[in-house]
């Protein structure tokens, strides 16, 4: 017995030491990553200082205030030099990241790209424009981390297709921006690089998962950025940070990722075709910038480098049209009621569009509860969340993700018991809790393919309703205003407004139209949501204290009609600025 006890104690001690060594190894990797980032920041600050000494009279504020279209025009004609613009934005990016922690890493090769574009025979559409890119968009010689320790090992061996096209169009990728751990959160923090803050209020989140992009552009440190969207990850940061952002039809733009990051994005968890694909898209200060970026990317270089991208160039005629539109609209999807200011934004925009001569038609998305519970979340948790949990193996889970991770860790029997316990409760409460703890899974390949089929059936139903009303576009709400940091992880179900158009794979964009007023804040005190349950009260807490923060709306078009979506966004932007 004494020998057995000694063996048991020794085994327990060995396991304890092994775990301690594992955690220590993780800490060392994170410290090294942070040290590398900090060294890169210091080197870039030194390079900026040297440029300042060489060219002391740069009109920084004048350059930073130029809209993208005017900046490109000045660069093309030679009245501004790419080097001056690059170092102006590098200097501003250093300032913004010091305040918001939005950068994961500067791209020192931007100086090499500066030399490259000056040797190009023709100036591309983005000649001399500094561009920031999201952490997981591959750039040669740099890591794709997704905020995970086990992704800190091997740098990307070549540029992604999208980065190659940006460079061929004369753009200068200069920074990679921070993301939430595993990308599956609409806050923006991870254990390696920390929490990114909203430049308008440091108590608020910039949104996610393209939150680093949102903070950098809103803070003035970038004029154009590239994000990705699989549930709202371009549109939510655009809403929280007062930007314009476009999620195109997923196949309109593509980029080549490493196998690991593809797995993280759940793009390859299922056999193809992917039921809810990830989309790349631009983020900027105005709609014209988004249109110019799409025009630049939808070129022969893109179609040649990636033949899976349909060779459909940007349709300038559709974007420039001024014909009246038939606009469907709704201010709530009936699933998760949004704060009063977001509904006000839709109602005011609807009135402005009507006064401008457009035809407004009430529209209601069909079966939104079914879409949220059965189609969207079942896509990502078809295996009960095991594939997602695997990415945290040998990692430290970010506090903002712990509630979702813990729910996925509940054994299958526990989830079934939980579902039985919840049955007598209010229907909506059941729906909201089901999303995170009792979601059904695909138990066989047959069920998985049936799930894919049900998504196609729903798309057909939605398009039929759209066609029946003869709609051109749809105006609808987007989640906002900016949440207090830490709250997005508690309210996964609140993203129904954006998630719907990922399931449908429709192009959708966000435009800032207003700001939160004192009256909005007073009305929020009366907000009860659906039934004043814990989720409704949590949302109320998340958005409180937002006076002066941006308020946005969402604009939607049918698949492959990005130009029409952008044209509608431009109309909304123009009317809101006039107001």
Q: Is the pTM of this model over 0.85?
A: yes
The whole-angstrom separation of Cα 229 and Cα 550 is: 20
Catalytic residue among 209, 239, 497, 576: 209
Beta bridge partners of 283: 225, 245
Annotated active-site residue 134? The verdict is: yes
Range list of β-strands (E), 222-304: 224-229, 244-247, 279-284
Helix (H, G, I), strand (E, B) or coil at 238: helix
CATH code for residues 32-367+467-578: 3.90.1300.10
pLDDT tens for the chain, 579 residues: list them. Answer: 777 777 777 767 776 766 667 788 999 999 999 999 999 999 999 999 999 999 999 999 999 999 999 999 999 999 999 999 999 999 999 999 999 999 999 999 999 999 999 888 899 999 999 999 999 999 999 999 999 999 998 899 999 999 999 999 999 999 999 999 999 999 999 999 999 999 999 999 999 999 999 999 999 999 999 999 999 999 999 999 999 999 999 999 986 554 334 444 443 333 344 688 999 999 999 999 999 999 999 999 999 999 999 999 999 999 999 999 999 999 999 898 999 999 999 999 999 999 999 999 999 999 999 998 888 888 877 787 888 888 898 889 999 998 888 888 877 666 667 666 655 554 444 444 444 454 667 778 888 889 899 999 999 999 999 999 999 999 999 999 999 999 999 998 899 999 999 999 999 999 999 999 999 999 999 998 877 788 899 999 999 999 999 999 999 999 999 999 999 999 999 999 988
Beta bridge partners of 552: 512
Angle CA(161)–CA(166)–CA(168) in degrees, nearest 5?
95
The whole-angstrom separation of Cα 291 and Cα 567 is: 9
The whole-angstrom separation of Cα 473 and Cα 329 is: 9
Sequence spans of domains, the chain: 32-367+467-578
Beta bridge partners of 473: 327
The whole-angstrom separation of Cα 509 and Cα 287 is: 9
pLDDT at residue 386, rounded to an integer: 82
Kindly provide the b/e burial profile for residues 104-138, where b requires at least 16 CB atoms within 10 angstroms of the residue's own CB.
bbbbebbbebbeebeeeeebbbbbbbbbbbbbbbb
pLDDT at residue 264, rounded to an integer: 44
Q: Using alpha carbons only, how large is the chain's radius of gyration in Å?
A: 24
Q: Is 59 left (phi over 0), alpha (psi -120 to 50) or beta?
A: beta
Catalytic residue among 134, 167, 204, 434: 134
pLDDT at residue 410, rounded to an integer: 79
Annotated active-site residue 79? The verdict is: no
Helix (H, G, I), strand (E, B) or coil at 331: coil
Q: Could you tell me which residues are annotated as the binding site for substrate?
A: 183, 209, 230-233
pLDDT at residue 5, rounded to an integer: 74
Q: Could you tell me which residues are annotated as the binding site?
A: 183, 209, 230-233
pLDDT at residue 196, rounded to an integer: 98
Structure tokens at 25: 């190894």
Catalytic residue among 160, 233, 239, 497: 233
Annotated active-site residue 579? The verdict is: no
Which distant-in-sequence residues (6+ apart) come within 8 Å of 24 by Cβ? Answer: none
């Amino acid at each position: 017995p004494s020998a057995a006890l000694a063996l048991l104690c020794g085994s327990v001690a060995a396991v304890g030491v092994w775990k301690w060594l594992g955690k220590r190894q993780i800490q060392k990797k994170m410290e090294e990553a942070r040290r590398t980032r900090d060294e890169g920041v210091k080197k870039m600050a030194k390079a900026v200082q040297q440029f300042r000494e060489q060219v002391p009279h740069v009109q920084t504020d004048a350059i930073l205030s130029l809209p993208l279209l005017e900046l490109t025009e000045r660069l093309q004609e030679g009245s501004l030099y790419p080097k001056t613009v690059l170092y102006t934005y590098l200097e501003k990016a250093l300032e913004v990241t010091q305040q918001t922690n939005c950068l994961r890493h500067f791209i020192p090769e931007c100086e090499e790209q500066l030399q490259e574009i000056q040797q190009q025979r023709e100036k591309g559409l983005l000649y001399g424009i500094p561009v920031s890119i999201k952490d997981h968009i591959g750039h040669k010689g740099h890591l794709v981390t997704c905020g995970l320790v086990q992704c800190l090992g091997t740098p990307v061996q070549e540029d992604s297709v999208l980065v190659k096209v940006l460079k061929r169009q004369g753009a200068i990728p200069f920074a990679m921006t921070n993301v939430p751990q595993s990308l599956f959160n609409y806050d923006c923090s991870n254990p390696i690089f920390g929490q990114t803050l909203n430049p308008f209020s440091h108590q608020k989140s910039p949104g996610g998962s393209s939150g680093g992009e949102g903070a950098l552009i809103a803070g003035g440190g970038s004029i154009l950025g590239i994000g990705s969207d699989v549930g709202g990850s371009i549109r939510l940061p655009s809403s929280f940070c007062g930007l314009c952002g476009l999620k195109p039809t997923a196949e309109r733009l593509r980029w080549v990722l490493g196998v690991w990051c593809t797995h993280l994005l759940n793009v390859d968890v299922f056999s193809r075709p992917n039921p809810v694909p990830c989309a790349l898209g631009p983020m900027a200060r105005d709609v014209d910038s988004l249109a110019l970026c799409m025009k630049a990317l939808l070129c022969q270089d893109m179609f040649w480098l990636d033949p899976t991208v349909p060779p459909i160039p940007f349709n300038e005629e559709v974007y420039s049209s001024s014909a009246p539109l038939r606009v469907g609209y709704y201010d709530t999807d009936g699933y998760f009621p949004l704060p009063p200011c977001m509904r006000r934004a839709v109602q005011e925009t609807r009135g402005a569009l009507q006064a401008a001569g457009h035809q407004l038609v009430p529209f209601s998305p069909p079966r939104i509860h079914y879409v949220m519970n059965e189609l969207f979340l079942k896509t990502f948790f078809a295996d009960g969340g095991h594939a997602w949990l695997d990415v945290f193996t040998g990692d430290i889970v970010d506090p903002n993700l712990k509630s979702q991770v813990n729910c996925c860790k509940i054994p299958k029997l526990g989830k079934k018991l939980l579902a039985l316990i919840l049955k007598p409760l209010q229907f909506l409460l059941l729906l909201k809790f089901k999303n995170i703890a009792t979601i059904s899974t695909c138990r066989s390949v047959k069920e998985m393919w049936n799930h894919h089929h049900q998504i196609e059936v729903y798309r057909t139903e939605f398009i039929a309703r759209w066609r029946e009303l003869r709609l051109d576009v749809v105006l609808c709400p987007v989640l906002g205003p900016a949440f207090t940091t830490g709250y997005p992880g508690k309210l996964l179900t609140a993203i129904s407004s954006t998630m719907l158009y990922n399931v449908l794979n429709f192009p959708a964009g966000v435009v800032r139209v207003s700001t939160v007023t004192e009256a909005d804040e007073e009305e929020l005190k009366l907000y009860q949501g659906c039934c004043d349950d814990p989720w409704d009260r949590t949302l109320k807490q998340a958005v409180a204290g937002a006076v002066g923060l941006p308020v946005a709306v969402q604009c939607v078009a049918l698949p492959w009609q990005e130009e029409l979506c952008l044209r509608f966004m431009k109309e909304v932007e123009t009317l809101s600025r006039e107001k």
